A and B are shown apart, each in its own frame.
Chain A
Amino acid sequence: MIRRMLVAAGLAVLAMAGTASAASFEDVARNVERRLGMSRTRMPGVGFLMNSFVAVSRPGGASSVKLATFERENGRYRADVFQAAVKESCEGWMPVVQVWSKWDGEEVSLYVRPAGKKWELLIATSEPAEGTLVYLKIPGRNLLEWLKDKAVLRKGLETGVQ
């Protein structure tokens, strides 16, 4: 009996340690899937294409990029529901920027966390037809440049939108 309790306690501690650590891009995407009750759209080959593009053009100085897309099906979620799902899934990430665009119904949120001399960015974009999660890794100074100038910030966020 005591042994079982100890094992249960140990598992609980491990589970707590797991939740306390920062969520990875995959964790966030999986949590969003679970919260929205739908799977992300699978696009074979897109990851390879995106990484090739990033390796050549380095948008926003990015060295790594990951993408997850959630297509809205028959009004299954609203844009704010998508953003709320991302926010609740982003443990260990700092929300820094939010942009709302009334006309195109677009909302963009930027979450960041440090990674050595770089920043890891998570850009969540919700449009009327779909929600997108983009992960980028950029040099430390680049984020400062994004924050200095609104036009640069917009261009950087567009990396996630496009």
Chain B
Amino acid sequence: MRTKLVVCLFAVAGMMAAQQVKLPASLDKLAEKAKESTSVTLGPEMLSLATKFMDSKKSDEAEAKKIATKLRGVYIRSFEFEKEGDYTDADFSDLRAQLKSPEWTPIVVTKSKKETSEIYTHRDGGMLILSAEPRELTIVNIVGNITAEDIGGLSGQFGVPNIKSTHGKSTGAAVKKDEE
């Protein structure tokens, strides 16, 4: 009986370790408000298989392929809303509270009148991207030993939002601020 309990605890711990953020129950409520919600789960096995189909001759895919070898998972939740104001910051305040813990460091925060993009790095490696637009909210958790510079290489791959620098080229360090 005791052995079973230990095994169960390890199994639960393993599942929790997959994603670095605990997606709060409030996100499920957000899904109820959303017109459409999407969840993408790319675990280590899936990532490893997917990279085999990437073309090393294409510079963007070659870079992404190299970075993907360091990843343990990409987890995406996105919500599309019918109209502006269907969701507010309060709907994901639980998530923000987690991002304020010492485990997370904000490396990029850009805010414009209608859009917010935030990138956080995790103490144990990995990142969280939060992209909030008037009618769309996307949360991406990239788990693995990646650096801020790597995020540019993953941009637009595996469902990771397309992040462009002020120079028009993808980088992890400088993110374009949407002034519109």
- The listed residue with most B CB atoms (<10 A of its CB), out of A94, A95, A102, is A102
Chain B neighbourhood of A98, CB < 8 A: 38-39
Size category of the binding interface on chain B: 20 to 34
B53 to A, closest residue via Cβ? A140
Bound Cα distance from A118 to B162, whole angstroms:
26
B36 touches A94 (CB 8 A): no
Query: Which of under 10, 10 to 19, 20 to 34, or 35 or more describes the interface residues of A?
Result: 20 to 34
Partner among B31, B38, B41 whose Cβ is within 8 Å of the Cβ of A95? B41
Are the CB atoms of A103 and B50 closer together than 8 Å? Answer: no
Contact B38 A102 (CB under 8 A): no
Which residues 122-162 of A have a CB within 8 angstroms of B?
A: 140-141, 143-144, 147-148, 150, 153
Q: What residues of B have a CB within 8 angstroms of the CB of A144 in the complex?
A: 50, 53-54, 157
Cβ–Cβ < 8 Å partners of A99 in chain B: 36-39
Chain A residues contacting B50 (CB-CB under 8 Å) are: 143-144, 147
B158 within 8 A of partner (CB): yes
Question: B56 CB to closest chain A CB, in angstroms?
Answer: 13
- Give every chain B residue within 8 A of A150 (Cβ-Cβ): 38, 78, 159
Name the CB-closest residue of A to B48: A114
In the assembled complex, B134 has its CB within 8 A of some CB on chain A: no
Assess the A96–B35 pair: CB atoms within 8 A.
no
Of all chain B residues, the one with the shortest Cβ separation from A113 is B49
**A95, A97, A147: which has the most chain B beta carbons within 10 Å?**
A147
Contact status A96-B40, CB under 8 Å: yes
Choice from B32, B45, B157, B159 contacting A94 with Cβ under 8 Å = B45
Pair B31/A112 contact, Cβ less than 8 Å: no
Instruction: Say yes or no: is B125 at the interface (Cβ < 8 Å to chain A).
Output: no
**Residues in A89-115 with C-beta less than 8 Å from chain B:** 94-103, 112, 114
In angstroms, Cα B49 to Cα A99, docked, is: 22
Task: Map CB proximity to A onto B148-180 as digits: 1 under 8 Å, 0 otherwise.
Answer: 000000001111000000000000000000000
Cross-chain contact B35 with A103 (CB below 8 angstroms): yes
> Using an 8 Å CB-CB cutoff, how does the interface string of B43-68 with A read, 1 for contact, 0 for none?
10110011011110000000000000
What chain B residues lie within 8 Å of A143 (beta carbons)? 50, 53
**Contacts A114-B49, A143-B50, A144-B53 given; does A102 touch B35 at CB 8 Å:** yes
User: B143 contacts the other chain (Cβ, under 8 Å)?
Assistant: no
* A residues apposed to B, CB below 8 Å: 94-103, 112, 114, 117, 140-141, 143-144, 147-148, 150, 153
Residues of chain B having any CB pair with chain A under 8 Å: 31-32, 34-43, 45-46, 49-50, 52-55, 78, 156-159
Can you list 25 residue pairs at the A/B interface with Cβ under 8 Å? A94-B46, A96-B40, A97-B38, A97-B39, A97-B40, A99-B38, A99-B39, A100-B31, A100-B34, A100-B36, A102-B36, A140-B53, A141-B53, A141-B55, A143-B50, A143-B53, A144-B50, A144-B54, A147-B50, A147-B159, A148-B157, A148-B159, A150-B38, A150-B78, A153-B38
